[in-house]
Amino acid sequence: MMPGTEDRATAQNEETYRELENFLSVFERVRGNYVEEVSDADLIRGAIEGMLSSLDPHSSYLTESDFASMRLSTDGEYGGLGLTVTNRDGAVFVITPTEDTPADRAGLKSGDYITQIDGELLFGLTLDESVAKMRGEPGTDITLTVVRPGRTEPFDVTLTREIIDLRPVKWEVDGDVGIININQFSAPTAEGVEAAIKSIDLAIGGDGPVGYVLDLRRNPGGLLNQAVEVSDIFLERGEIVSERGRDAEDIDRFYATKGDLTKGKPVIVLIDAGSASASEIVAGALQDHRRAVVMGETSFGKGSVQTIIQTGETTALRLTTARYYTPSGRSVQAGGIEPDIIVPQLTDPDRLNRPRLREADLRRHLVAQAGVEDELLEDDTKSDPRFVATPEELEKAGVEDFQLHYAVETLSRIARPAQRIAKAS
């Protein structure tokens, strides 16, 4: 033991004991003198929640209902409206609606604020309390009051609750391009991507597609192992992601295994401000290995790892225990994945007015490492001659999703020279 280490440890323990004595003193005063009787369990739970709220936005205490909801969502099925939300300015802020859910079909968008549920103001409620109000029996209606930047008046949206049975992977074919859309990284995601690739090959026939668009937009993330397995589908070798904890030696690395199911065909990954966590692992891995071109907008920037520690039969602790890094050693925490090519969503008429909430906007967010935080890549495409079409002009041209349209067109252009060379030989 180094000289002075024992003395420092003793002093630290004494300071800890003093703070615990202070806590117990406050606990007894509140317990005995508060204007209304309050249970010890409520006081202790409040103390735990306060302790965790002083850390980062993703560390929290999970009560019985929270724990059950988390397990349902990671299993790929849960009840509700299909929204990923957070608290902001006393309202519920929509990070992203999940595709093909009541929220998505009702037209809710990233950047919307939900201020009332069935006429009841949400100001002062915790996020868990607000989310609990949005959930309910499938088939029952709920009315949300929405404030949308760019509109002068709030408006009401009535939705019908339903069981959200997520199909984490969907696929389609546009000409000779295969499109794989991943909504969430839940238990069956990697298996779904493998099935999508086989289905696309069969649908196109011959040599299969000229390339693939991997659509990770509005994907809030999910399970780490699924992000690793999905990345592995497109890679032959190399590191996919690493997790680094508090200690310098505390590093876990995850590697690809041999075998690219797409046989090296071109891949474009689409991301936006709603692409977070596991989505960023996949985008970062394929970008670093130059296996894919990343298009769209800078991602959310959630580069931290949460460990679920069960503290009782029905309660758990969700604690941030590490940061993750892309193969080149980049931390995306608070900075996000920057696309190789910025492509704005020109078919969204509200895109210039809608706020983009990212990790860096959350209170007490972790910085990337040792106080260093990346700057977000600004959208400087407003004067780019490729991106001057209006939503109305694109609608007349039959383009419903400009980012996806641009990615498909780009893949087709990439493939044509290769096809000419093949024919000439």
Residue pair 118/130 in contact by the 8 Å Cβ criterion: no
Mean pLDDT of 258-262: 96
Q: Which two tokens stand for residue 255?
A: 């590697």
pTM of the model: 0.81
Mean pLDDT of 196-206: 96
Among the listed residues 200, 172, 268, 186, the one whose alpha carbon sits nearest the alpha carbon of residue 229: 186
Residue pair 224/74 in contact by the 8 Å Cβ criterion: no
At residue 363, the pLDDT reads 74
- Proportion of the chain above pLDDT 90, given as a percent: 58
At residue 224, the pLDDT reads 93
Reported as a single tens digit per residue, the pLDDT across 235-256 is 999 999 999 998 878 899 999 9
> What does the mean pLDDT of the chain come to?
87
Reported as a single tens digit per residue, the pLDDT across 268-297 is 999 999 899 999 999 999 999 999 999 999
CA distance 314 to 311: 8
Reported as a single tens digit per residue, the pLDDT across 316-362 is 899 999 999 999 999 999 889 999 999 999 998 888 887 777 887 77
Reported as a single tens digit per residue, the pLDDT across 350-372 is 888 877 778 877 777 887 654 44
Reported as a single tens digit per residue, the pLDDT across 106-152 is 999 988 999 999 999 998 887 878 888 898 888 899 999 999 988 88
At residue 2, the pLDDT reads 56
At residue 401, the pLDDT reads 95
User: Would you call 196 helix, strand, or coil by DSSP?
Assistant: helix
- Nearest-10 crossing angle of helices 40-53, 5-33: 130
pLDDT band at 5 (very low <50, low <70, confident <90, very high): low
Active-site annotation, residues: 277, 288, 302
Q: What are the structural domains, with CATH classification, of the chain?
A: 77-165 (2.30.42.10), 169-304+322-421 (3.90.226.10)
